[in-house]
Structure formats: C-alpha cells, structure tokens
Amino acid sequence: MQLFIEIYGFLNVTLRGFILTAQSLTLGGLAFLLLPAVAEARLGETARRRAERLIFWSALALCAGEALAAAALGFMLSGTLGLPAGELLGAEAVKIDLLASVLAGAVAFFISSRRDALPAAGLAGLFLLATQIGATHAASRLDHVAGLYVAEFAHMLGVAIWIGGIPYFLIALGAAQTGSRRYVAARFSMISAAGVAMLLGAGVYMAADYLGEPEALYGASYGVMLTAKAGLLLGLLLLGGMNFLTGRELRTDPRGSVSRLRRFAEVEIGVGLTALFCAASLTSLPPARDLPNDRASWNEVVERVEPRWPIRLESPDHASLSTSQPRMIDPGAPRAYAMGETAAPPRNAEDIAWSEYNHHWAGIFVLLMGLLALAEHDRRLAPIAKHWPLTFLGLAGFLFLRADEEVWPLGHLGLIESLRDPEIAQHRLMIVLIILFGLFEWRVRLGKLKAAWAPYVFPVTTAVAAAFLLTHSHGLANPKEEMLIEITHTPLALVGVAAGWARWLELRLDDGPARRIASLVWPVAFILAGLLLMFYREA
C-alpha cells in the first residue's frame, strides 16, 4: 500500500494523459462522422467502417481508463484516510470517473450496434465531455464558474475535433479515390480550423483566469507548464499550416501526391498526444492564481538559466552528500500538496554540486552526439560519424552510476526498492530508453537491422522520452524551487519532441527541401539539448 501511495502522483498524471488521449480519439471520431462538413466529403464504406472501429476501441479504452482511475483513487483514499468502501464511492472525483466510464461504455455500445445509432453515440459523447469538466480546475473555482465551465467544454471539444480527428482524416484520405482526396482535405481543413478556433479562444480565457497575472508565466510551475503547452501548440499550428497549403495544391492538381500531407499529419498526431500528456500534467498543478506567494522573481529565473562558465567537471565526494549523513526528521519541513507525494528530502551544497556535475557531463555526451550526427552529412566524416549512437551507451552507464546517489551501487537503496520513488523510476526508465536508442540506431546505421520498423525506434523513443519529461508529478513541497528546476527541464523536453519528430519526417518524407531541413533539425536539437544540460544550475 505504501509503495502505491508513493507512486500515485506519477501514476495519476500518466493515467490522465491516457484518458485525454482516448477521449480525444473517441470524440474526434464522432465529430468526424457527424459534422456535415465531413459527411459531404464522399466517405466510402471502407473508410467509414475503419473509423467506426477506431471509435469503438478508443471508447472502450476510455471506459477502462476511467474505471482504473476511479479504482486507483479509491485505493489511495482508503490507504491514506482509511475510508470504508461506501464512503469512497461517494467521493466526488470517484463518482465523476465512474460516470465517465459508463458514458464511454455507452459510446462503444452505440457505435458497435447499428449505423443509425451514431447520433445516440454522439449525444453520449457530449454528456461524457460535460462530465469531464467536473475533473478540471473549473470545478474548484469560486468565481467566473459559468464562463470557465463553458471554456473547459469548448477547449476539450476543440482538441477532440482537431487532434482527435487527424487519424480519421488519414483513414479517409487513404481510402479516397484520386478525385475525392481534395474534398477530404478541404472538408477536414474546415472542421479543424473550427476546432483550433475553439481551442485557442477557450484556452486564452482559461489562461487569463488561472494565471491571474502575466508574471505567473515564468514565476510559477503552472505558468511554465502552460508555456510548454503553448510551445507545442505553435508547432501544431505550423504543421497544420503546411498541411493546409498542401491541401490547397490538391485542389488545383487532384492527381498530386498526398504523401507530404500524410507525413505532416502523422507528426501532428505525435505532437498532439504530447500536448495532451502536458495538459494532464497541468491538471495536477494548482492554478498559479492560488499560489501568489510561492513564485520566483524574474531575476531569480535569469540567475538560474543564465549560461555560466566554467561548467562543473569535478564531483563532490559521495560521503559528503546528505544521503550519506544520518537523516534527521524536521517537523517544520514543508509537506507536499499533491496526494501520494512525500516530503522533500533535505539537501546540502554538495547535493547540488553532485546534481550539476551529473547534468554537465550528460550535456557533454549529448552535445557530442549532436555534433557527430551533424558530421554524418559530410562524406569524409561519415564512416566514423555514423557510429555516434554508441555514445548513448556511455551516457546510460554514466547515468546508471550517478543519476540517483542513494541507489545501488553507490547508495544504500536496492534497485527494486528504489523504484517506489517516482522520480527515480522515471530516471531508470530513461536509462532503458537511452540504451534502446543506442543499440537500435547503431545497428540501423550499420544496415544490420533490415526490418521496416527498425528505423522508427529512434524517433519514437526520443519523442516518448521527451513527453515523459513533461509528465512530472508535482509534489510542490517547495513550489518555487520546483518551478526553478522545471524551467530548466521543460525546454529540454520541447527540444526532444522536435528532435524525435524531425527524425520521423526525415525517414518518412520523399526527397526534397522539407526532408533535408528535417535531417538538419534533429542533430541541431541534440546540440541545443547538450548545451542546456551543460549550463544547468540548481543554485
């Protein structure tokens, strides 16, 4: 039970990201089939059946996700408050999850029963969306409640229509005859533009209310995560704009290639899912307006992110770290706000130096990868530079030894025992992903892995790892200090997302300017990530 309570924060954010993804796919599919703009786009029977199957499985996944969220929350409340089962079912958050699960099940039932039950599925979807507002920040506000309820509803619906609708657009595009593709592209452009307008309008309204003042954008964790989400949205708008231009070319030349349209849409899905997990992380934070006294000033932010030379290349001794000292319980130490989080352990100057040393050396590894990957474009350097993925193994070994000083082989915690700490669990997962990067990409570069899926391991794992950086659980025992750490890690996540999906485009696009640009973007993104790590500061 104690282990579950300690990992609940991380588990909850991950589960909410999964729920938002399944919800967007379910509602996006219903909107795609029900909105007149698409119904007129001459969808074939094959495309319709595929779309209905995706809606069914998405709704079923949502049904299971909501039930699991209710069970996890009930288990948490039972473990921390000792409430009996009857009272657990009466908890507002548990009731919302259970009702959402039932409504998602209703959508799955209607979509799989009869063709004329589609409107009933759409109605259940709208009720489902209205129910989900009870799990947003709007439900806890005391003022502007009606406006925030409408904004939350419009925001989630806009995300579903746009991001959730893209897979259905790809299904329709793949099944469409040459002459019908321009209709599919034009109709989806219309409804996605409406979704973007709803998303942006509602998002600006909610941001103004939840932030309270512009300074919260850089001074509070909520503002930093909101800025990251806005960065992802800008990337999505850029991709959507490219697809709009490609779709317009199809109107003048219906026989033109739709390959670029599909590839950009694939990346839109990937970046959109990352934005949904970022939104899940955002919901675990209290609005910045509620924490007016726990923010960092502009000078404190600049002091933390300003590059300073020399970087730290000498490590403090392990015996000087707080984890090696007898631990005293400070009754006045700040406690966490979020359920399942424990109090922050005490830290001394050597702990900070240890962490900075780790980040700076990791930055050197990542910078070297980016430079070698860039050098691979030069024919003279390519024979040596193509082995750059092996650098990942060195980085993984370094992180295994140094990332968590309290864990074996340097610390007193065993490997399995240490995984109860969400932060350590994330670090260990990252190490596994890093090893996968290295081994797979090295063998792909050498031509030893011939499978068609093999080249995609690298971009997908890069993008997934970057998305995990945005799914922190927020204990908030010290909101200002946590924000100052996040403001250095969040740009790393955004650079990682750009690197992963740029490499995807390089692999998927036909030869041309867009592919050549993508082939340069991801090595440069690695170089930027290396520099961010090399100048990382914790004090």
Q: Are 96 and 131 in contact (CB under 8 A)?
A: yes
Mean pLDDT score, 430-439: 85
Q: pLDDT tens across 205-216, in order?
A: 999 999 988 888
**Which residues lie below 8 Å from residue 152, measured CB to CB, with a gap of 6+?**
133, 136, 137, 138, 202, 206
pLDDT value at residue 362: 94
Percent of the chain scoring above 70 in pLDDT: 90
pLDDT value at residue 101: 95
pLDDT value at residue 473: 54
Residue with the larger pLDDT of the pair 426 and 344: 426
pLDDT at 144 over 70: yes
Cα–Cα–Cα angle for 368, 377, 531, rounded to 5 degrees: 25
Helical H segments across 403-448, by residue range: 415-418, 422-446
pLDDT value at residue 538: 84
Q: pLDDT tens across 81-135, in order?
A: 777 766 777 778 888 999 999 999 999 999 998 777 889 999 999 999 999 998 8
Residue with the larger pLDDT of the pair 378 and 421: 378
Mean pLDDT score, 7-23: 86
pLDDT band at 471 (very low <50, low <70, confident <90, very high): confident
Assigned token pair, 46: 């094959």
Domain boundaries, the chain: 1-290, 298-324+348-535
pLDDT band at 11 (very low <50, low <70, confident <90, very high): confident
Gap between the Cα atoms of 15 and 440, Å rounded: 28
pLDDT value at residue 79: 74
Mean pLDDT score, 9-23: 88
Query: Mean pLDDT of all residues in the chain?
Result: 86
Following DSSP, what letter does each residue of 145-161 receive, concatenated?
HHHHHHHHHHHHHHHHH
Gap between the Cα atoms of 164 and 21, Å rounded: 8
Gap between the Cα atoms of 362 and 359, Å rounded: 5
Question: Tokens 């039970």, residue?
Answer: 1
pLDDT value at residue 506: 94
Q: pLDDT tens across 361-416, in order?
A: 999 999 999 999 999 999 999 999 999 999 999 999 999 998 888 888 888 888 77
pLDDT band at 286 (very low <50, low <70, confident <90, very high): confident
pLDDT band at 482 (very low <50, low <70, confident <90, very high): confident
> In this predicted structure, which of 340-344, 348-352, 432-436 has the lowest mean pLDDT?
340-344
Gap between the Cα atoms of 145 and 161, Å rounded: 24
pLDDT band at 3 (very low <50, low <70, confident <90, very high): low
Gap between the Cα atoms of 414 and 427, Å rounded: 15
DSSP H/E element including 202: helix 181-211
pLDDT value at residue 331: 54
Residue with the larger pLDDT of the pair 411 and 238: 238
pLDDT at 301 over 80: yes
